[in-house]
Structure 1
Amino acid sequence: MAERKSTFKGDLKSERAVNEFLQKYLYSYLVDEGIIDSFNSNTSLDQQHKGIDTIIYIIKDGADEQVRCINIDEKAAVHYARNDLSDEPLTTFAFEVSYMKDGELKRGWLTNEKYKETHAYFLCWLWIKADANKYNLVCEDILKMEVISIPKIKTREKLIMRAMGSKDIKTFELKADILRNKMKKRGIDRLELEHQLDPLINALDDIPDFNKMHLKFNGNLLIAKNYPQWVLTLPEKLYEQPLNIVVKREDLVNLANSYWVVTPQGVEVKKSVSKK
């Protein structure tokens, strides 16, 4: 089967629509309610390359601008947008560990050093018009968005600790690359994060003791039922072949600082952020 083409350019168009929607209906609301002082989505090209989609400025009397600013990286599950407002949102969210570009392995946004200046993720689940193109959205196509704000460093550390029992990013990246290669070689697309990296790598090497003690097999495929999970998109499905850590939505809501349901008609606060 031929490799599917990249959706990168279409994703960028839809990301701009998501940002415009957030400006109009969420960030403006946060200013009006006195939760933040102001925001700036007119970030420079350099800032955008560093993952900074919007800068919000908290209310902190006497503090200079650098102390008051929070750099937001907006992440939207656009490919899984719902077309019916009565539909439940996607029950998970994916954190990118690595991907392929022009035959070269690249670091995903979870640990990539070039995104070190971002402070928080705004994770977004979308509902869009039935006739909207998910790869070419405009702001007016978006009917509703559920948004949670989660701290970047805390979230990353929790995932890495769960994956291997320590917070060392470089070791995590090295072992994740080994795992990716072995998953691809075996044609396996899902593994449970609960089984830490060393046992998983050894199991994929077909070491009987590890297979018997740590994992269940169904023929040559590992059975992954519980989240978080390692999920590798194989090349016949997507050109970039992302390796993601996929987390249950409810776990992310529990971790979130704030949680909003946003429509053009208003904002419903599900979990509030302090004004202080």
Structure 2
Amino acid sequence: MRVPVVEHGVRRRRARRRRVLWCGAELVVTAGVLGLLFVVHQLWWTNREAREGAERRVEALEREWAGGRPSGGGGVPGGAGEGLDGGGPHSGTAPQGSPGSDVGGGAGPSSPGGTGPSSPGGRGPAPSQAYAVLSIPRLHLRVPVAEGTGKRGVLDKGYAGHYSGTQQPGQEGNFALAGHRNSHGEPFRYLNRLRREDIVEVRTAAGTYTYAVDLVLPQTSARDAGVLRPVPRSLVRPAYGYDRPGHYLTLTTCTPEYTSRYRLVVWATLVATRLP
């Protein structure tokens, strides 16, 4: 009977293969752990950090208003009286909402050009300055509103960002805001749950402006700048929007969730103004 002989070279090759496989497995496990830590950071830590910061900013604004100190020029009375209905007729059927939206999402279509409206003192809010509080009772949401839609200075802080070049709260035209759908406080995570006649309030040093949800555009292009016009109407889906001047509020965020491919848009019209 012949005894099989295993050469030393064969043993060395097998040992090298085992080491390569072991190192590969270690790299896969390490990459998985790092990926998990990144997800935890994005979906837990950034949310916690941004929400706590946003809550502190809301409290600071309310203390300023209670003390009679201006918060920096936001919120110009728009000449609308108590009970004003700013909504205009629209073509098509008003959609009733849709599921949708995105990890870094929140920014909407490109902001229209031009400068923002001035405050009663002749100055508008400074870039990234928080100057209002957005409240949506159905979503149990209260977040600051800051000037601009930059990620680092506004959206990643868990704030709603005001599109520069659109109107301010209470003014005739379109007061347009963006917010993250996922991560960084995700204030607009459940924007798709809003329904017709749901209340949205915007409080500033100048007063409180109450809007009622009127239309929901479930999905449009991220470049659909028509939704930000003074009389908002989608350029991609023109059945959604308005055809006459009014006092409008536009809320935009990303859709579907955890992507930034499309935008979800909610429109509301001014129904009441309460001055201090």
TM-score class, shorter: under 0.3
- Provide the TM-score with structure 2 as the length reference: 0.22
Higher percent of residues as helix: 1
